[in-house]
Each structure stands twice: as structure tokens, then as C-alpha cells.
Chain A
Amino acid sequence: ETGVTQTPRHLVMGMTNKKSLKCEQHLGHNAMYWYKQSAKKPLELMFVYSLEERVENNSVPSRFSPECPNSSHLFLHLHTLQPEDSALYLCASSQEEGPGGATDTQYFGPGTRLTVL
């Protein structure tokens, strides 16, 4: 596998279900990101992990819970979601120098298309 992979590619869940999205990067990067992409809206940054520490949660509802066990893996745990949470969830990774450093290119995974019924 190369680049950034995400599983599952499609997920349909009820509002009472608990599920997890998985992301894996094979690029040796030190930062990983979760984005939400809704129709006709800009990509919204949800969470940032740099060197496995969460550095931003951007006021995301607590029904979304990220986990970063190591620099190559990122999870997004979902529980009691709402229909308006239906969207494409994208994972990305980059090699960051830290605050004040240059911004490196982010490489995206193919996304998980989530539908909440």
C-alpha cells in the first residue's frame, strides 16, 4: 500500500450505532488530519494530530472522538450521530516543522462516505 488509505470507503449507520473510521499513512509523515466535506461546503478541519498529540479539535461535537495510537494510524470513533453528520470524511497527512515552520503539502486519503439514517 502507498500513500494514505481509509476504511471503510462507504458506511451507513443508524443514529444509535457506534462505528469507527480508520486511516493509515505510508508516507512517514508526522502529522495527520480529519476533515469533513459536506455538499457545496468547504472542507472543514476537524482534528489535527502532530507527533501523535492532538493539537486542534476545532469545536467538533463530542459524538466524534479521534484516536491516534501512532504516527501512521488515525481513527475517528462515531457514536449517536445525527443525519446532518452525513458527509465525506477525509483523512490527510503531512510532514510538519511545527508552529512557525513552513507548511508542507497534505496528502489525502480517498475518504469514507458516511450516511446516517
Chain B
Amino acid sequence: GQNIDQPTEMTATEGAIVQINCTYQTSGFNGLFWYQQHAGEAPTFLSYNVLDGLEEKGRFSSFLSRSKGYSYLLLKELQMKDSASYLCAVPIYNQGGKLIFGQGTELSVKP
């Protein structure tokens, strides 16, 4: 079966760096997505990793290790507006667009 785990909540300070981890178990692998969701709003796409390594996109970076079934999202120079839920999602292998989501990590950024 498929399973995704990520911490439920995290707290960090404005200006700091925070790492949000995601572990997954899948039969087959077709990449991993990170989404950001502010309260009451739509999830918005942050990153997609299909190869091992770190991909940087401004203040946000995403890392993948396929051998370990592990990914993390790294947020630098935290801002208050980064307070949101961060969702890790993995496609069901060979089934087109069907995604399995983790429960999301609620990040609170404090002044």
C-alpha cells in the first residue's frame, strides 16, 4: 500500500530556517509534490522532485532521497506569511494523476 508521514505541527521564528520532513512508502515511484495551503484557501504548488537531490527555488528548497523514501522542504528567511499548512503528496504509480496526500504540517511563524 501507500503511506505518507509528516509532522502535524511545527513552530519557527521569523527570519529563521525550518525543515519539514516527509517520509513515504509506495509501490513504484513517480515523483513527490509539495503544496502550500493557507487557512481557507486552495493548495498551491511549490515543488516537484523526481530525481535525488536538492532543488532550490528562491527561499524554498526541496530535497528527495528515493532510496530512503524521504523528502524535506526547506524554508529560509522565514516570513510571517509563510505560516500555512505544507502538504506532501505522491502519485499512485502508473495511475495517472491520482495523488496520495500526507496529513499536512501546520507551520506557525512567530515574531
Contact yes or no, A45 B99, CB < 8 A? yes
- Chain B interface size range: 20 to 34
A93 to B68, CA, bound (A): 30
Question: A45, B98: Cβ atoms under 8 Å?
Answer: yes
Q: Interface of chain A, helix or strand or loop or mixed?
A: loop
Partner-contacting stretch, out of A14-22, A59-67, A69-77, A97-105: A97-105
| Chain B interface main SS type | loop
A55 touching B102, Cβ below 8 Å: no
Q: Which residues does chain B contribute within 8 Å of A42, judged by CB atoms?
A: 4, 100-104
Instruction: Give the distance in Å from the alpha carbon of A101 to the alpha carbon of B98 in the complex.
Output: 12
Residue among B87, B98, B103 facing the most chain A CB atoms (10 A cut-off): B98
Best-surrounded residue of A42, A55, A111 (most CB of chain B within 10 A)? A42
A111 touches B42 (CB 8 A): yes
A40-B103, A42-B101, A42-B104 known; A107-B95 Cβ under 8 A: no
